Structure 1
């Protein structure tokens, strides 16, 4: 299908989900590491001048930005091993929950991680766990969100087993409690054991350094806020 390149960083859960999709589809690609996101490379600025963020997929030299948009493009371009359900209603539901995961779960966990101790922290944790409770209901009766095989929604939720546990550690909190979310906890265990999934996961220490630096920066901004 032509030359495929991925401008990305190994720490980013948004980039990793794109790698997972490409690998599940059997698409060969070149990984171009964006070394310093605070000092954007000319290549990234050229191909994503609007948001100036990773990931960016290049196919035949044409750029596609935003991870969910990229996943949809991959699904439509490479028909093998479909990730989205065939039923239109089920496809719509998968897209809905994928958006929910980004808007509520990812950023909810991030809010809980970087909020200082106190009432704000407690409220952020409660809000994040409320979002996870919705996901708990979606996985009921299934091995994966996609059924017996991993699919679109599993890829989008795939940050939970690894990235979330790092957020929990640096934030000094616990969101995905096994007693409270047994089904989601079991799903996370099953998902992370898949060899193709594991091979794209960055080392934990690298993520810890990344999140510790990011959270320290966010808390310093909050402290110095007039």
Structure 2
């Protein structure tokens, strides 16, 4: 009898390879939308605050505010993924104004707002410095301002002087940067002089701080 041709070995099925989930999303840490994932676009300069850093930061803020968010008016000048602004909204902030200049980013923030039915969130496309100047000219004041700008572009140096006119009494600023904002007394730059650092820490190459205006 003729030999049957040897059967070919079955090829192993190809398994799709996916990157880790945390590489393209973050999650809300606490409040009404706790554990809700927020997608992160691959946009230039978009660098969302990691979950564990936000957890630390919001613990700091809760301590300063006695965990009272009901009357908090919040400004997020470099909204990006929205992780900071939506976190504040989730915890019950009265209003959260989120600003970003990137069109796809703003579109995604709008989609998240709609999904969450976040009526306490307002989203605007615009330049952070121009928005801050306009708000200061109108006499707007905030209890909490998030400053998480692209590094090495001197945004903090330009934003912090404007923020002195935007703060309510006892208001707080959360600021991320590529360098520490704590200086020796005789080396403090002019833009940092009005501010005191309440808390500060470092995660990897990121320095994060909670600031308040010094008492007059």
| TM score, norm. by length of structure 2 | 0.32
Larger radius of gyration: 2
Higher relative contact order (CA 8 A, sep 6+): 1
Taking structure 1 as the reference length, what is the TM-score of the superposition? 0.31
Task: Give the helix-richer structure, 1 or 2.
Answer: 1
